[in-house]
Structure 1
Amino acid sequence: MSPYRKRLPQLAGRLFLADAGLETVLLFQQGFTLPSFASFVLLQDEHGREALRNYFEGYARLAQSQGTGLVLDTPTWRANPDWGQALGYDALRLADANRDAVALLADVRAAYDTPATPIVISGNLGPRGDGYRAGHRMCVAAAHDYHLAQIATFSGTEADMVSAFTMTYPDEAIGIVDAAAACEMPVAISFTLETDGRLPSGDALSEAILRTDAETGSYAAYYMVNCMHPSHFEPALAEKGPWRERLHGLRANASHRSHAELDESTELDDGNPETLGEEYLALHKTLPHMNVVGGCCGTDERHIASIARHLTGRAARAGPSP
């Protein structure tokens, strides 16, 4: 059993860092080829595994230097049935890849976890379809059935929880929460937003969170938003209410570009790390419950170091703690 599954330490309110834009780092900075934007394929050989291990260890050292906790998400955003099949993975091989991803992060945790820097392992779930468009939508029951196998695989590993990222419409999120509950796995749901602060489906963020809680008995541990610039988040926050207390996480892009613009871009837009840290600090003053912070597309260790420095007031640096 994972050490933190029964009581996720990030729920106590202290700051937890997360990693950054794994796939864009691998593609644009390290020159890897990622078919269908899938990073889990790198688990197939030692060169890829070493790159993944080095990536995650960098954030473990950063968290240690800041005295924060750390949530590490497995490189499995595309490791679900449809995407796996497109990449030549049958159900058994896909389950093995999900287990291998957790095992890699368990090795990182064994080397870096301390009382001052607890490391939570989260099984990363991605959408069935495109993370930038709602597209073909499943009903809640279909979403439950679709994501159940991946969640069940994670439940048999050292993963402490699962997190569903870049959710574009509420029904898929609700189905994932139902499947997580069936497996007795803690779950976080992260919606993505367009430049107007609404989900790609057109739903308001407040409505998506309230509906998901209403239909699942508030089973989700907390909610997040990811893969958009902090300024795209601001229109959603115009609506007051207790739903905002359910928002604990932010993994934003440094780029101001819309999803459509990012989809068409052939060059990395990494924005300004210092400015991103300032924007996180401003949002934290509005959302004091926001304590799980990392990055998404186009971000790397520089951005997370800046975020950490602004939120802790300490000089952020990568490297082992003294």
Structure 2
Amino acid sequence: MKPELRQALKQNVLIGDGAMGTYLYQQGFPVGISYEELNLVQSEVIADVHRRYYEAGARIIETNTFSANREKLSKYGLEQEVDSINRAGVELARSSVGEDAYVVGAIGSIRAGKRKNVRTSEVEVALREQILVLLDTPVDGLLLETFYDLDELLIALKLIRQLSPLPVICQFATEGTDATQDGVPLHEAFLRVRDEGADVIGFNCRTGPNGILRSLQNVAPLVDMPFSVFPNAGIPDYVDGRYSYAATPEYFAESALRFANLGARIIGGCCGTTPEHIAAMAKVLQDYTPAEEAINELRAAAQAVVTENAPQGSTSQPASEPSLVDLVKKRHTVIVELDPPRDLDIAKFMEGSKALQDMGVDAITMADNSLAVTRMSNLAMGMLVKEQLKARPLIHIACRDRNSIGTQSHLMGLHALGIDHVLAVTGDPARFGDLPGSSSVYDLTSFEMIRMIKQLNEGIAFSGKPLKKKANFIIGAAFNPNVKHLDKAVHRLERKIEAGADYIMTQPVYDPLLIERMYEATKHLKAPLFIGIMPLASGRNAEYLHNEVPGIQLSDEVRARMAGLEGEEGRREGVAISQELLDAAMPLFNGIYFMTPFLFYDMSVQLTKYVWEKAGRRDLLLSPLVK
């Protein structure tokens, strides 16, 4: 007979299961249906998922009841089925796994990060109803997961503690930040949840292992409290209408060992994870016994984790005479991406922009809330760069954030400001950013946006009505060469050029051989390419980019060279690797696109100087501004 869950956590690291919703999505079940209703109408499917995770090694099995509350089910006309769906969820989980597994009733956030969409009284009613049903079933514990706000989590926890002494696991959704979405520091939030009677506290969803590790450094003093981690399989990519996740089972196995050494007692997976991810973690932690030295070492390492998300490799182009397209046809041309600030302090951004302008870059590009993380308006920052520094801004425009009305309005404003180089990108889905309650608009695809901007150049509004003037936008498109079938990616690129793209910006490339292959595959295109190079800042940064950020793939050699490097040593090696990539790229491509990691603009300055030296740009190298 298995020990009670609290007792088991004192003795072992327990493997949790993986995703239910995204796994069903991968099996062909569409977004927009109630996955919880499948407990009733296709119970064999849910039972099979539970069985697969159990056979993979999971011993914490979550019921398929995450959204089985009145508020969420009402969207599907199922608000009267709260009792039957929750009871069926427990029965399916219990009957599909062995006696050695712990079945926990899953309860998700109702507000889901939308602070004012449901009144507190309605939240309490819906949570109480679901909790009462689950407590009347043979669960081994309850799991409160993907809660963004401390306030809502405490509502649920207090309700449970009024009704039952059953073990409770509480998990916040995190993106590697140091506070909950309602502004409570994580350390304080953990203490308050512990004091209200939680047995395990942890994190799930919103981010991959790297982000959760960053958040853990903010609660490291709670070493006497069991904690749980259920990371996503990295950041989802959205290609041709489908979501996919990059993190491999092998990467999850390495991460599981790191979490175990840090003291995690429950380790599972969230969005994008599969039975293969769980099996890899179970294998590496089989017969696991942590050494105290390893625990201390990795706890110290957690404090050094990089605290910024890497920028996504999207791009745009500068506005001036001659255009970047004209320049790149004649000589090597450098554009550099700087992320607009995430707060109201623009000093470092402007300082970096000035240093790059002094080094003679041809444009400074600004993404449009890359990775769906809220940043200062790139239009505003572009205007400051243009007016105060006399540098060329290159503005990205994401399909995600504006409907057709807002997109045309935004473009008309850019035209009025004299900013005419833009990049049309799809944009990362809003639900994976720092405001997951926000809606992704996607009125237009990137192909449609390119065509509509070209239409403005013809003096025709999106509506088809004539305009009194013609715009003069030079339009960029994004290209990801880090794919299995390069020919298919090039074909997609050809369609963007047919739609009207004037130039192409690539995702970062880390393999000289791929640069050569890319040249052969794209040399027939009429639109010039700017090769994306993002210098690596550390070994951890390299692993995060490779495993968790869609569209970025590092070679084994690069990962090996960066392994274990941090601080200045890591940045020095990152610059050296980038210089070797430039050696391969510059004989083949005139366009160079640097992406600055974490506003370490001195790295981009060094690399720009390297380009000018190789290109023999004595006019720039002899300038008093270039040190």
TM-score after normalising by structure 1: 0.79
**SS state at 1:291 partner:** strand
Query: Are 1:183 and 2:163 matched, yes or no?
Result: yes
Write the distance in 2 (CA, Å) between the matches of 1:12 and 1:195.
27
Give the corresponding residue for 2:24: 26
- 8 Å Cα contact 1:40-1:75 kept in structure 2: yes
Q: 2:178–2:218: 8 Å Cα contact kept in structure 1?
A: no
Q: Is the CA contact (8 Å cut-off) linking 1:5 and 1:159 kept in structure 2?
A: no
In the alignment, what sits opposite 2:261?
A: 285
**Cα distance in 2, alignment partners of residues 156 and 77 from structure 1:** 17
Matched, 1:87 2:76: yes
Q: Which protein, 1 or 2, shows the higher relative CO under an 8 Å CA cutoff with sep ≥ 6? A: 1
In structure 2, the partner of 1:49 is 43
For 1:246, what is the secondary structure of its paired residue? coil
Aligned-partner Cα distance in 2 for 1:222–1:238: 17
Residues in 1 aligned to 2:200 and 2:254: alpha-carbon distance in whole angstroms: 24
Q: Determine the C-alpha separation between the residues in 1 that align with 2:19 and 2:10.
A: 26
Q: State whether structure 2 residue 227 is matched by structure 1 residue 248.
A: yes
Q: Distance in 1 between matches of 2:2 and 2:78?
A: 30
| Aligned-residue offset at 1:203 | 3.0
Q: Does residue 129 of structure 1 match 2:126?
A: no
Helix, strand or coil: the match of 1:57?
Answer: helix
CA distance in structure 1 between the aligned counterparts of 2:217 and 2:135, rounded to whole angstroms: 37
Q: 1:312 to 1:204 in 2, by over 3 A?
A: farther
| Secondary structure in structure 2 of the residue aligned to 1:121 | strand
Secondary structure at the counterpart of residue 166 of structure 1: strand
Distance of aligned partners of 1:27 and 1:7 in 2 relative to their CA distance in 1, 3 Å threshold: closer
Alignment of 1:273-312 (within 5 A): 273-286=249-262, 288=263, 290-312=264-286
For the residues of structure 1 that align with 2:219 and 2:40, how far apart are their CA atoms?
Answer: 47
Q: CA 1:194–1:236 in 2, change beyond 3 Å: closer, same or farther? A: same
Superposed, 1:160-239 pairs within 5 Å as 160-184=140-164, 185-214=166-195, 216=196, 219-227=197-205, 228-239=207-218
Q: How big is the shift at 1:212?
A: 2.2
For 1:139 and 1:10, the matched residues in 2 are separated by 38
**Cα distance change on mapping 1:193 and 1:312 into 2, 3 Å:** same
- In the alignment, the residues of structure 2 paired with residue 277 and residue 201 of structure 1 have an alpha-carbon distance, to the nearest angstrom, of 32
1:201 CA displacement: 3.1
Give 3-state SS (helix, strand or coil) of 1:148's partner.
helix
User: Structure 1 174/240 Cα, relative in aligned 2: closer, same or farther at 3 Å?
Assistant: closer
Distance 1:95 1:120, change over 3 A: same
**TM-superposition CA deviations, 1:289-322 (whole Å, max 9, x none):** x1211111111011111112222269xxxxxxxx
CA distance, structure 1, for counterparts of residue 224 and residue 119 of structure 2? 27
Distance 1:79 1:4, change over 3 A: farther
Query: Residue 266 of structure 1: CA displacement?
Result: 3.6
Q: Name the aligned partner's letter for residue 124 of structure 1.
A: A
Q: Does 1:104 align with 2:97?
A: no
2:201 aligned partner, one-letter code: Y
1:302 partner amino acid: E
Amino acid at match of 1:58: R
| Candidates 18, 29, 35, aligned match of 2:32 | 35
Evaluate the alpha carbon distance shift between residue 169 and residue 247 of structure 1 in structure 2; reply closer, same or farther with a 3 A threshold. farther
How large is the RMSD of aligned CA atoms in angstroms? 2.7
Q: Could you say what secondary structure the match of 2:50 adopts?
A: helix
Q: Secondary structure at the match of 1:220?
A: coil
Give the superposition deviation at 1:142. 6.3
Q: 1:283 to 1:137 in 2, by over 3 A?
A: farther
Conservation of the 8 A alpha-carbon contact between 2:61 and 2:103: yes
Call closer, same or farther: CA 1:139–1:11 in 2, change over 3 Å. Answer: farther
Residue 119 (1) aligns with residue 89 (2): no
Counterpart Cα distance in 2 of 1:31 and 1:251: 23
Inter-partner Cα distance in structure 2 for 1:158 and 1:212: 25
| Distance (whole Å) between structure 2 residues aligned to residue 243 and residue 139 of structure 1 | 32
Structure 2: segments with no counterpart, 5+ residues: 289-627
**Residues 295 and 71 (structure 1), Cα distance of their counterparts in 2 relative to 1, 3 Å cut:** same
Change (3 A) 1:158 1:270: farther
Q: Is the 8 A contact 2:212 2:229 kept in 1?
A: no
The offset of 1:202, in angstroms, is 3.6
- Tell me, in whole angstroms, the C-alpha distance in 1 between the residues paired with 2:198 and 2:211: 24
Q: CA deviation at 1:33?
A: 2.7
**Mapped contact 2:104–2:139 kept (Cα < 8 A):** yes
AA in 2 matched with 1:211: R
Q: Partners in 2 of 1:225 and 1:167 — Cα distance?
A: 9
Superposed CA deviations along residues 78-104 of structure 1, whole A, max 9, x for unmatched, are 11111111111134x211110111111
- Contact kept in structure 2, 1:163 and 1:187, CA below 8 Å: yes
Preserved CA contact (<8 Å) 1:206 1:236: no
8 A Cα contact 2:176 2:215, kept in partner = no
Residue 16 of structure 1 deviates from its aligned partner by 1.5
Q: Provide the C-alpha distance between the structure 2 equivalents of 1:204 and 1:244, rounded to a whole number of angstroms.
A: 17
Counting matched residue pairs gives 285
- Note closer, same or farther for the CA distance 1:81–1:5 as it changes in structure 2 (3 Å cut): farther
Q: Using the TM superposition, give the Cα deviation of residue 6 of structure 1 relative to its aligned residue in structure 2, in angstroms.
A: 6.1
Structure 1 residues 35, 13: closer, same or farther in 2, change over 3 A? farther
Aligned match of 1:73 in 62, 69, 72? 62
Greater C-alpha Rg: 2
How many angstroms apart in 1 are the aligned matches of 2:211 and 2:5? 32
CA distance in 1, matches of 2:4, 2:273: 31
Q: Deviations over 1:231-271 (max 9, x none)?
A: 112332334654243242111112146xxx88xx8421142
- 1:244–1:170 distance in 2 versus 1, CA, 3 Å: farther
Offset at 1:213? 2.7
From 3, 8, 25, give the equivalent of 1:10.
8
